[in-house]
Amino acid sequence: MNNRIREFRARHDMTQDDLAKKVNVRRETIVFLEKNKYNPSLKLAHDIARVFGVAIEDIFLFDN
Amino acid sequence: MLFKSNFVLEIINNSIMKRALIALVVSLIVLASAALWFFKMEKSVTTPELLTFGIIIVLVGFGLYFAYIRFTGARRDEPPEDELSKKMLQKTAAWSYYISLYMWVFMIWLKDRVTLDTEQVLGAGILSMAVIFFLCWVVIRFRGLRNE
């Protein structure tokens, strides 16, 4: 699974710290997500998508 | 002086900082005890003793790093734990438990072949368990937790 968190964050002019605070996780978790070193839970994926106002599948790209 | 008192109040009112402070104090006590043991030795230092001291230093460094992460996180109002840190700790614990079982089997095998005191075997085993935990944590941190 890949994601476009970095792209959406840049579009919303948001730092990793800002996003981490909005979804109530540590900044390290956002770093891991952006490096594709961690697949988030459904709840965290939903929270991140809600922050950017898009659907989960717009941010998280599932492999075939 | 005012800065110092504010800093102390911050620690007292923040439970995460209190825990970080406890980790810091425990690490320093371990370091002080190891230093006392090492420098008060009457006979000359042997290689295993030097190795033991080195391992203790590395583990104390690990403890201090944990305390530092907790402390800076608390100052930035970050949650002390989140889903990634919990999963990482669970995975590290599972891996290190599994590897430690083999390590103890090896220690039992070694005990029958090399003359060792029970204290030495237990001490080496406990220290090895801590090293295994540290190494597992490092590997998982670099590898990440994809497809868990």
Three-state secondary structure along B39-86? HCCCCCCCHHHHHHHHHHHHHHHHHHHHHHHHHHHHHCCCCCCCHHHH
Tell me the whole-structure pTM to 2 decimals: 0.76
Residue B20 reports pLDDT greater than 60: yes
Please name the member of B77, B84, B147 whose beta carbon is closest to the beta carbon of A28.
B84
- For chain A positions 10-29, those within 8 Å of chain B (CB to CB) are 17, 20-21, 24-29
CATH annotation of A2-61: 1.10.260.40
Residue ranges per domain, chain B?
Answer: 1-80, 82-148
CB spacing of B144 vs A32 below 8 angstroms: yes
The pair of structure tokens assigned to B45 is 């230092």
SS3 state of residue A11:
helix
Quote the ipTM score.
0.87
B143 touching A (Cβ < 8 Å): yes
Q: Phi/psi at B46 (nearest 5 deg)?
A: -95, 165
Distances A21 to A27, A37, B20, B98, B118 between C-alpha atoms, Å = 8, 20, 21, 35, 51
Give B21-56 pLDDT, tens digit per residue.
887 888 888 888 888 887 777 777 777 778 888 888
CB spacing of A32 vs B79 below 8 angstroms: no
CB spacing of B143 vs A37 below 8 angstroms: yes
Q: Is there a contact between B83 and A25 (Cβ–Cβ < 8 Å)?
A: yes
pLDDT score at B133: 93
Give B72-122 pLDDT, tens digit per residue.
887 778 887 889 999 999 999 999 999 999 999 999 898 888 887 888 888
